[in-house]
């Protein structure tokens, strides 16, 4: 709701309509005034009469087609001020309307994230909610900074604050009050939401290929078993149909032989029927061979399933998928450990006085100074802690890369040693063969 009690979305679109109305009316007024000035210079009539006529026409006739906010038709000189005032009101309404847009965006992407696991959608949900909190804090914090410099901005001061005053208060003396504050609670809930979203996406990425492969192999086994039963039941029928068709072609072939001997024109049809007979025989062989292989494979699979209980799980690769129990345990352990670490780090960071007094053992001249309660001191603790995680990840990646290079170098050396040993063995074999040949020639 706006200050006048009107809905924000209604005030937003009414502001757009008012700006367009004033702009269009002023444009028509300027064009008409320009045409009057041009005609007065060409035909030299009484210009004042034309100006009065234009003003009367615009106010009493043309202006009645428009719905102005104050209900009166403005003059040409009043239109710029009215447009600027409407733009000022419009920006204030747009400021509030943007929060509704962000809220709608967060709802929309939360529904999409529920229907399809995609971390981008979850990040857009959390990002929209965070922007709704950060933007007012930045605007009013900037206004407070201007007040410290004895600079006042009426526009910033007139903007409404959509946030609850509790969002600007963070108790740092008590851990439980710290966790119960709205800002910290929202931060923890947002982190839990993102953590669950990423864990669900990870589980889906890990387990989905195994599940798809298992379903595909199970469907193929079902098709194989059904086809093997079908072949067993219908192989005699296939042979009988092929035999009947062959007999029909033989009868037609005998008839065509007589025709072949009688007429030259029937020779091509006879050759064609002989080719069809050959193709039918080959097709019959292929069908019988395929049916025999399918039956043998189906029989083997059924016997294997009866003899080995775990054969189906092995063939369908069901055991390759990660176990749900171990996956759930590891996910919960990582989830709670990260949340506890986040809470402890956050509480330590906002306690620079205790940290400087008990950890660094700084003198009272520093710990009791006013600067210890400034935001810069929190940044002094925050930056090293935040930078610690990427530094650790870089060290881990460097150690892994170094170990990989060492293992590759060792494999290369092993290959060189094996190659040199192989060359030495071949050389010894060649030497022994030459020695044997020489001894044979000497004896002969």
pLDDT digits (tens, 9 = 90+) for 191-226: 888 888 888 887 777 777 777 777 776 776 676 666
pLDDT band for position 255 (50/70/90)? low
Residue 284 is predicted with a pLDDT of: 65
d(CA 365, CA 438): 99
Instruction: Give the Cα separation of 434 and 444 in Å (integer).
Output: 15
**Residue 333 maps to a domain:** no
What pLDDT does residue 361 have? 77
CA triplet 144, 147, 153: central angle to 5 degrees?
Answer: 90
DSSP assignment letter at 319: G
Query: Which of 121-125, 126-130, 366-370 is predicted least confidently?
Result: 366-370
Does one domain contain both 255 and 401? no
For residues 162 and 136, the answer to whether their CB atoms sit within 8 Å is yes
Instruction: Give the structural domain span for 311.
Output: 211-320
Instruction: Provide the token pair at 148.
Output: 């410290």
List, in order, residues 6 or more apart from 436 with CB less than 8 Å away: none
The total number of structural domains in the chain stands at 3
Assigned domain for 43 exists = yes
Report whether pLDDT(261) > 50.
no
Higher pLDDT, 180 or 245: 180
The confidence score (pLDDT) of residue 410 equals 74
Is residue 155 domain-resident?
yes
Give 191's contacts (C-beta < 8 A, 6+ positions apart). Answer: 339, 342
* Mean pLDDT (whole number) for 59-83: 74
Question: Would you state the pLDDT for residue 270?
Answer: 53
Same domain, 356 and 315: no
Q: What is the mean pLDDT of residues 42-62?
A: 70
Provide the pLDDT for residue 230: 63
Q: What is the pLDDT of residue 6?
A: 58
Q: What is the pLDDT of residue 245?
A: 62
Query: Looking at the domain assignment, is residue 240 inside a domain?
Result: yes
In a domain, 316, yes or no: yes
Mean pLDDT of the chain: 71
Tell whether 152 and 56 lie within a shared domain.
Answer: yes
User: How buried is 86 (Cβ within 10 angstroms: 0-12 exposed, 13-18 middle, 19+ buried)?
Assistant: buried
Block residue for tokens 């009866």: 306
Same structural domain, 236 and 311: yes
- 202 is a domain residue: no
CA-closest candidate to residue 300, choices 290, 310, 289, 311: 311
As a whole number of angstroms, the distance between CA 111 and CA 142 comes to 35
Rounded to whole angstroms, what are the CA distances from 196 to 103, 122, 244, 259?
A: 21, 10, 67, 83
């Amino acid at each position: 709701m706006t200050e006048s009690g009107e809905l924000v979305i209604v005030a937003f679109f009414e502001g757009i309509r008012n700006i367009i109305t004033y702009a269009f009316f002023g444009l028509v007024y300027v064009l008409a005034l320009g045409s009057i000035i041009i005609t007065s210079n060409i035909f030299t009539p009484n210009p004042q009469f034309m100006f009065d006529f234009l003003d009367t026409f615009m106010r009493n006739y043309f202006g009645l087609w428009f719905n102005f906010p104050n209900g009166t038709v403005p003059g040409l000189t009043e239109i710029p001020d009215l447009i600027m005032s409407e733009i000022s009101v419009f920006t204030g309404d747009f400021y509030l309307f943007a929060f509704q847009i962000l809220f709608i965006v967060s709802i929309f992407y939360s529904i999409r994230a529920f229907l399809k696991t995609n971390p981008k959608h979850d990040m857009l949900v959390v990002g929209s909610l965070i922007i709704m909190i950060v933007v007012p804090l930045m605007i009013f914090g900037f206004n407070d900074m201007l007040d410290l410099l004895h600079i006042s901005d009426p526009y910033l001061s007139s903007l409404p604050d959509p946030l609850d005053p509790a969002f600007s208060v963070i108790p740092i003396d008590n851990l439980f009050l710290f966790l119960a504050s709205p800002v910290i609670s929202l931060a923890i809930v947002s982190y839990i939401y993102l953590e669950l979203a990423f864990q669900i996406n990870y589980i889906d990425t890990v387990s989905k290929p195994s599940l798809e492969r298992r379903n595909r192999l199970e469907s193929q086994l079902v098709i194989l078993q059904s086809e093997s039963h079908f072949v067993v039941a219908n192989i005699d029928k296939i042979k009988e149909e092929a035999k009947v068709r062959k007999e029909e072609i033989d009868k037609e072939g005998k008839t065509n032989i007589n025709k072949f001997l009688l007429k030259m024109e029937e020779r091509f049809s006879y050759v064609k029927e002989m080719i069809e007979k050959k193709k039918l025989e080959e097709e019959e062989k292929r069908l019988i061979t395929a049916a025999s292989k399918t039956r043998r494979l189906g029989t083997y699979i059924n016997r294997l399933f009866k003899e080995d209980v775990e054969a189906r799980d092995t063939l369908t690769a069901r055991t390759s998928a990660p176990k749900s129990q171990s996956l759930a345990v590891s996910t919960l352990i990582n989830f709670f450990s990260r949340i506890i670490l986040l809470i402890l780090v956050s509480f330590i960071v906002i306690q620079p006085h205790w940290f400087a007094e008990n950890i660094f053992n700084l003198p009272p001249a520093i710990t009791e100074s006013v600067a210890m309660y400034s935001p810069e001191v929190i940044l002094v603790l925050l930056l090293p802690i935040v930078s610690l995680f990427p530094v650790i990840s870089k060290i881990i990646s460097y150690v892994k890369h170094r170990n990989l290079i060492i293992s590759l170098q060792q494999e290369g050396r092993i290959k060189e040693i094996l190659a040199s040993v192989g060359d030495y063995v071949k050389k010894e074999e060649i030497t022994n063969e030459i020695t044997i040949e020489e001894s044979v020639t000497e004896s002969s």
